Amino acid sequence: MPRGPFPDDECASFPALSHSWKEECSAYCQGTVHFALIPAYTETGAAMGGLTVIVYNPQKTLAGKIFCRMKTKLEENGFEVVPCSSREQRLPKRVEESGKKVEFAVSLGGDGTFLSCARKFALNPVPVLPVHLGTFGFITEVTHYEWEETLDAWLTGKLEVESRLMLNVEVYRAGKVAAQYRGANDAVVSAAGISKMVRLSVELGGYEGGRFQGDGIILATATGSTGHSLAAGGPVIVPPMDALVLTPLSPFSLSWRSMVLPSSDEAVIRVDRHQRVSVQLTVDGQELFPLEEEDEIHVMGIPDSVRIIKSNRRVFYEVVRNKLGWSGGVNA
C-alpha cells in the first residue's frame, strides 16, 4: 500500500533521539525498510482502515526508533498512525478531524506513559498495547524486543483484551463540581508542601467511615494497588477484579487499616476545617488539584474503562513474584 513520507516534524518530535537514531528513524519513515503484510484480522484483532494512536514518552530514545518502525508496519497494513506525546493532556485534533475510528492504541514508555494513554481514552476506551521502555514496568509487560511479535499476534487475532476499571474522581466545592478526573491507578488526598497532618472525614457507600488524621488517604484500583498503596501497606488486588482499595498514609491512629471496597460503592473524602497545612488531590501521580477546606472528593469505580491487550507471555502472579522480589531468599 503506497504511503507518503513521514512529515518532517514527527521524527523531530522525539527530542531524546540522537543524530544516528534520527537518521535510522528517517530511513524507516521514508520507506527504505519494508515489513511483510499481515493477513486480514479476525474479530479479536483490529479492523483495517482505522486509526492507531501511538502515545510515546519523548524522553525515551528507544521510543523514537520503535515508533518509526511501528508506524511503517501499521501503514503497510492499512492503518493511519497518529503520534501523541505522553505530556499532552488530550488527543491531537487530527484524531477527531480524521472522522475515522481509533481501532487501538500503543503506549511506548513506562507505566506512567500507559496511564497517560489510558486517561486520554477514558471516555471512549480502546484496546491499548503497552510496550515497556521504563524502569519498573508493572503494567507494561511487553518488552521492547517483543513488540513486533506481539503486534503481529494482535493484528492476526491471537491476543485477548483484558478490561479493567478506572476511577471517576469529582471535587465538589460549595455544592458544585469544581474539578473532574479519570484515573487508572489511584487518587491521593494528602498534604501539600510541608509535611504535616491533614484532617479528613470519610464516607463509604453512603455511611460514615470515620475521621482521619495523618499524611493522607489513597484510593486505588486493582491496577494501582501495586503502586503507592502497596508501598503504604495496602494489599495487592488481582486485576481485572472490580474493586477499590482504601489505604491510609501514616495514620495518627494505629487502628486505621487498608480496606477493600466494591467498585460500586462511592467513597467520599471531606477536607475538614481548621487545617494546618494546604491539602491537594493527585490522580495517577500526574494530575494535581489544590483543595480547600470543606471540599468533598467523590471517588467511584467505572468498569471496563481501561482495555489492555494481553501478551499471553506472563500471568499476573508471575509478574508480582518477579517485580516485587518474592523469591524467598535474603535479597527478597
Residue 191 falls in which region: left (phi positive, over 0), alpha (psi -120 to 50) or beta: beta
Active site residue 215: no
Contacts of residue 156, Cβ cutoff 8 Å, sequence gap at least 6: 38, 39, 41, 42, 45
Burial 260-292 (b: 16+ CB within 10 A, else e): ebebeebbbbbbeeebeeebbbbbbbbbebebe
User: How far, in Å, CA of 224 to CA of 228, rounded?
Assistant: 7
The helix-helix angle for 61-75 and 19-29 (nearest 10°) equals: 10
CA 117 vs CA 151, 237, 311: distances in Å = 17, 22, 18
Catalytic-labelled residue, pool 9, 111, 215, 265: 111
- The per-residue DSSP string of 135-154 comes to SS-SS--EETTTHHHHHHHH
What's the one-letter identity of residue 30?
A: Q
CB 125 within 8 A of CB 101: no
Catalytic residues: 111
